[in-house]
Structure 1
Amino acid sequence: MSSIIKNIHKKSFFEGWYFKCQKGDQIISFIPSYSTDKNGISQVFIQIIMNDNSYMVSYQLEDFYLNRKNQFIRIGNNSFCRKGIKIDIDTEGISINGILYFGKMEPLRYTIMGYYHYFPGMECKHEIISMYHKIKGSLKCNGREYSFCSGSGYLEKDMGNSFPKTYTWIQCNHFPAEKCSVFISIAEIPYHGIHFQGCICAIHYKGKEYRFATYLGVKVLKSTRNEICLKQGKYLFKVKLFNSKKGMNYSPEFSHKLFAPVFGEMSRTIKEQHLTAGEFLLYEKGNLIIPLSSSKVSYEYVE
């Protein structure tokens, strides 16, 4: 308990977890977090992202407990861990309760940030806890029942002082043809007076992990609102996003407003979109080895 008290009052600091729960077109994500701004003012909250709306529910500091060793988070009557989540929220804006159980998680072979994870003074450190896990259970939200039996999940974490000024974030583990999990992030990284473009990407496919990263020598050949092209050694990875209804280049109409940290203060607004259509093509020595597409891609793009 003492470690969390120490960190929660650390100025210009935040820590948050992203629990994505999905069954088909039905997606609900929970972001339990805490933050402290440069004046030492702390807050605890849960952000909830649904298909057509998003919510932020605030709590008192005494309502928060974190056990990092067991990766257990409790905020009010809500609890989050590797085995599942228990939700009990009833506010003027949203009423949601229920229990979801998680199956065996699929972690990466080693931290997604490589040796950058151990650099002191990084603006934001990213961690992927599970690329994919099965879900069972149900949630009741505003009177409607949401079943997640035979669903899938994804779990990541961020900590530091601020989100990157500009970045792209893409995540998908729902493909109709084959089981595959994809994560990509390209961001502007400030570090001790210099700025550089950082890239981290992981693909789990047929029991194999493919990874592209700045620390592995990746070259970002293209990074736009709707297209990414990465080259690393013998691999070439192309991603293209589309308007799922019109089948054309993607022009997002973000429906999910989220709050993000700036030196620990949740004063920045970003937006996220689920159910984006995307094409994912991985080549090895010019041969196409992963030709997959999905209409259920999660996506953030911040200019």
Structure 2
Amino acid sequence: FDVMPQPLQFHHVTAFTLVVLCYQLLDVRMVFQPHMWHGVEQRTGPYFEGWYFKVVSSDRQNVLAVINGVSIAPKGSEQDSHAFVFATINGGETQYYRYPVSEYSATRNPNWLQYKMGPNVFGEYDMQLNLVPKDGDDASLSISGTLQFSHLVRWPIQWHSPGPMGYFGWFSFLQCYHHVVSMDHDVEGSITVGKDKIDFNGGKGYTDKDWGTRFPTDWIWLQSNHFEDSPGSSLFFSLARVPFHFTTIPGFTCGFFFEPDQRIYRFATYNQARIQTLDLEGGLMRIVMNNKRYQLELEVQRSSEYAYLYGPRHGQMVKHIPETLKASVHVTLWDLDSGKAIFSGESSPAGLEVVEEQAGGLEWLKRKLRVVSSDALRQAV
């Protein structure tokens, strides 16, 4: 069964509505349908929109990441506008395939997301690949096959919090928007990469998307859904340096879907959660965050094996984002009222991006968050 979005909640709306009315509102339909294609009428750039599919085989030996979307170049560089699909298998060299924007089409049915790019078809419930390198592509491998997705775990869509960005999802002036299409789902099918056929039957998947004019300059992204002690549980974490009108703020959102509870435990800037600890030095990364009721501890084992992904930069798609698909994360969720651990377990393989395009950007995030190092916490204890 699908974990469907919760019904719209209309309490605590008055003050929020006054704030929203101070800004130009986005298309209300799209606010409540963040998984859909937002750039239908987009003719001038810079603009990008892309969907990220991550699938892991049942034995956890193979991880495939497929990103597809469109890049609309700024005025004067219209010839650079294109649709794209790029993929990496097990963190290997990224394969990038270009298509004319005219070969991209998407449905407007709010109950069924599906879009086509050349001979490739993508949707909430399936992915059909027929990728063959052409002149102008940054690719050397053919990739083909069909995957089916079921039992999607969706992020709740609520009036005051339409997705993982919370009330920030209402504002039309942000440079980048993010949505989790599915925290976790079952995967069936196989993919052929070159001459190798990879079996994904019984595997696990995750899907998210981004759209806007540019990525943040500095961010951390983490995702995993192969917990040994709790199959079906899933983790998503994102922290970024977010331009906000005439200033810049640190923004984060984290969701831990604990399968036994059928619940996403949420920690985010918009629900008064705080990051207490952010240690990034060395191969072990530690993040501790809490809200009024719960505390979530993440210990991430980083990997030296990563691929460079394409991402928007100055209106172009540029190969500049280091992502590993071979990290691991240990998660501990605490109930602060009882002092007891609700869950403690490890998940691998995990996807991880740690990006610092602006010198000192990650240190800036730590200062603004007023985090306390693990050493300081231990000394205090």
Q: Fold match, TM over 0.5?
A: yes
2:194 aligned partner: 142
Q: Is the 8 A contact 2:39 2:49 kept in 1?
A: no
1:6 aligned partner: 41
Call closer, same or farther: CA 1:3–1:199 in 2, change over 3 Å.
closer
Indicate the structure with greater strand content.
1
Deviations 1:187-235 (A, max 9, x none): 1111111111101011111212200010100111122331211121121
1:167 aligned partner: 219
CA distance in 2, matches of 1:28, 1:201: 23
Gaps of 5+ in 2: 1-36, 134-138, 158-162, 357-381
- Structure with larger Rg: 2
Deviation for aligned residue 1:3 = 8.0
2:374 aligned partner: none
Matching of residue 56 in structure 1 with residue 90 in structure 2: no
1:227 aligned partner: 286
Q: How many residues align?
A: 293
- Return the match for 1:79 from 114, 117, 121: 121
* Letter matched to residue 31 of structure 1: I
- What secondary structure, in the 3-state scheme, does the structure 1 residue paired with 2:317 have? strand
CA distance in 1, matches of 2:123, 2:221: 23
Deviates more, 1:126-135 or 1:90-99: 90-99
Q: Is the 8 A contact 2:305 2:326 kept in 1?
A: no
CA distance in 2, matches of 1:264, 1:174: 35
1:247 aligned partner: none
2:344 aligned partner: 291
Q: Is the 8 A contact 1:134 1:153 kept in 2?
A: yes
Call closer, same or farther: CA 1:133–1:275 in 2, change over 3 Å.
same
Deviates more, 1:102-111 or 1:59-68: 59-68
* Letter matched to residue 278 of structure 1: V
2:154 aligned partner: 107
- Return the match for 1:278 from 308, 323, 329: 329
Superposed counterparts of 1:167-186, under 5 Å: 167-179=219-231, 180-186=233-239
- Return the match for 1:210 from 262, 265, 268: 265
1:267 aligned partner: 318
- What secondary structure, in the 3-state scheme, does the structure 2 residue paired with 1:223 have? strand
Indicate the structure with greater helix content.
2
1:22 aligned partner: 56
- What secondary structure, in the 3-state scheme, does the structure 1 residue paired with 2:156 have? coil
- What secondary structure, in the 3-state scheme, does the structure 2 residue paired with 1:104 have? strand
- What secondary structure, in the 3-state scheme, does the structure 1 residue paired with 2:153 have? coil
- Return the match for 1:93 from 140, 147, 170: 140
Call closer, same or farther: CA 1:126–1:3 in 2, change over 3 Å.
closer
Deviation for aligned residue 1:176 = 1.4
Alignment root-mean-square deviation, CA: 1.7
Deviates more, 1:284-293 or 1:62-71: 62-71
CA distance in 2, matches of 1:68, 1:47: 24
Matching of residue 238 in structure 1 with residue 273 in structure 2: no
Q: Is the 8 A contact 2:308 2:319 kept in 1?
A: no
Gaps of 5+ in 1: 243-249
CA distance in 1, matches of 2:144, 2:308: 22
Deviation for aligned residue 1:146 = 0.5
CA distance in 2, matches of 1:3, 1:101: 24
TM-score, scaled to structure 2: 0.74
Q: Is the 8 A contact 1:64 1:74 kept in 2?
A: yes
Deviations 1:28-53 (A, max 9, x none): 11111101122252111101021123
TM-score, scaled to structure 1: 0.92
Q: Is the 8 A contact 1:262 1:268 kept in 2?
A: no
